[in-house]
Amino acid sequence: MPKKFTGENSKAVAARSRKEAAKKVEAEKKKQEEEDAYWRDDDKGALRKQQRKEEQERKREEALRRRQENRLAHDEELNSLAGKASSSIKVTQAAIEATKRLEEERRKEEERERLLKEKKVESESDLLEENVNRLEVEGESARSVSEAIKVLSTDSPVVDRHPEKRLKAAYLVCLKFLFTLNASLVGVLNRGCFLSFTRMSRIDRKAQPDFVRGVMN
């Protein structure tokens, strides 16, 4: 009959203890490795985060630098355009002033020519007025319409400026008339007729007989 086992085998216990210790060591080792791996992952994540942060900062600074450069270039372009515009405005203003001066000189020249023409016309008009606007009838001159009417009017009494000429003609007519009547009377009446007509020519013409006025006229 087999022998009844009353106690625990020390070898088995020792072997089991060694296995358990080995498992425990293995578990702790694994746990340590896991912890190390975890921390290593955290370090990598932190590093990546830090790298990303630095990259973002670098990009931000680069963008800021580009914006500053663009702004400076824009300001320089504006200043350049402003300078060109100012120069253009100055040139345009100078051209306008020159045009104004030329226009003023042309206007003055036209005014001088106009005045010279008017002066020439006035001189010619003066000559025409001296020759045309002066009416003279038997020694009477007129420079206006009223004076011309007065000179040409038949209602106004006419002054005989040369009565001796008319008297001589009347005397000759009288002699011819008397000669036809009687030639002998010519010598007798010669002096008396002349004296008579001389006296009559000195009185008012309205008081002369019709015959004498007819002969005198």
Q: What residue ranges do the domains of the chain occupy?
A: 160-217
Give the per-residue pLDDT at 148: 54
198: region left, alpha or beta (phi > 0 left; psi from -120 to 50 alpha)? alpha
Which has more pLDDT, 84 or 18? 18
Confidence of residue 135 (pLDDT cuts 50, 70, 90): very low
CB atoms within 10 A of CB 170: 23
Average pLDDT on 62-73 reads 88
Highest mean pLDDT among 5-19, 55-69, 190-204: 55-69
Q: Distances in Å between the alpha carbon of 174 and those of 49, 132, 180, 191?
A: 163, 42, 10, 12
Predicted structure pTM score: 0.24
Which has more pLDDT, 190 or 165? 165
Give the per-residue pLDDT at 158: 53
What's the one-letter identity of residue 80?
S
Confidence of residue 215 (pLDDT cuts 50, 70, 90): very low
pLDDT above 60: residue 61: yes
In angstroms, rounded to a whole number, what is the distance separating the alpha carbons of residues 4 and 59?
84
- What is the rounded average pLDDT for all residues in the chain? 68
pLDDT above 70: residue 10: yes
